[in-house]
Amino acid sequence: MEDQLTILQEFLLIIQDSVVGYGPDILGAMITLIVGWILAGFFKGLVTRALHRVPNMDETLVPMLSSMVKYAVLIVTFVAVLSQFGVETTSIIAVLGAAGLAIGLALQGTLQNIAAGIMLLMLRPFRKGDFIDASGIMGTVEAINLFTTDMKTVDGVYMAVPNSSLWNSNITNYSRNPTRRIQQVMGISYGDDVAKARGVLLELMEKDERVLSDPAPQTVVSTLNSSSVDITMRCWVKTDDFWDAHFDILEKSKAVIEGAGMSIPFPQQDVHMHQVEGK
């Protein structure tokens, strides 16, 4: 029993010495971590607000730069915590270098996303609010983050896309240019007046206020199909007006063709039967 009490007393003395010896360092490290975490959030918000006040600042750059500031503060905090325990700066750098190498090998895909995000911000194939299609990844860009790009699909669903997936794809940006061309095909019967059909369709586009006069609207006979004469309608509109104008012109095209006494034929085939006399 006395031996057990002696062991317990020695254990308590060791704990007491540890608390007395390392207690201030541990307390200082905890305070440093808390203060560093608070400062990282503070500086991130500060940089975000400052960048929003910069004229012509691209919205896609704001979250990326503010996140980099936050992580930089956290790294400095980590180094300061290690220094609380007497770790030399050179040792800290060596440890961070080795850790960075190990993490880099383990997280190659993650680092690719970071590099891809930087390239996307530098070359700017798209910006916040652009509607893009990257090899089937289609939606409106909401933000470019350190690892992913936030997008919203056409039906309003949130989508987080790895930056490397976008960088390694062919990107079609439907919003970048200020104007877009509407092209629609309207088929008429072979018995209808082609010149008249072209005229009423051209007039339809010219009367639409959203259609630009330069380049001028155009109607051409594009195909002689088996069941119809296809007339292609082309006109240019502002990008913001594209879909509304597209659907309106498509709907009104049918009305003006039928109003002019012409028809849109159904696919049809003529079958000729020849009677062969038996020998």
- Please say whether the dihedral angle defined by the alpha carbons of residues 16, 20, 22 and 23, taken in this order, is positive or negative: positive
Q: Which residue has the higher pLDDT, 219 or 49?
A: 219
Half-sphere exposure of 257 (CA within 13 A, CB side): 25
* Predicted confidence (pLDDT) per residue in 123-173, tens digit: 888 988 999 999 889 999 998 887 889 999 999 999 999 998 999 899 999
As given in the structure block, the two tokens for residue 125 are 């194939």
Q: Given a cut of 60, is residue 174 above it in pLDDT? A: yes
Residue 111, pLDDT score: 74
Query: How far apart, in whole angstroms, are the C-alpha atoms of residue 96 and residue 75?
Result: 10
Which domains can be identified in the chain, with CATH numbers? Answer: 2-106 (1.10.287.1260), 126-173 (2.30.30.60), 179-259 (3.30.70.100)
Place of tokens 């608070």: 38
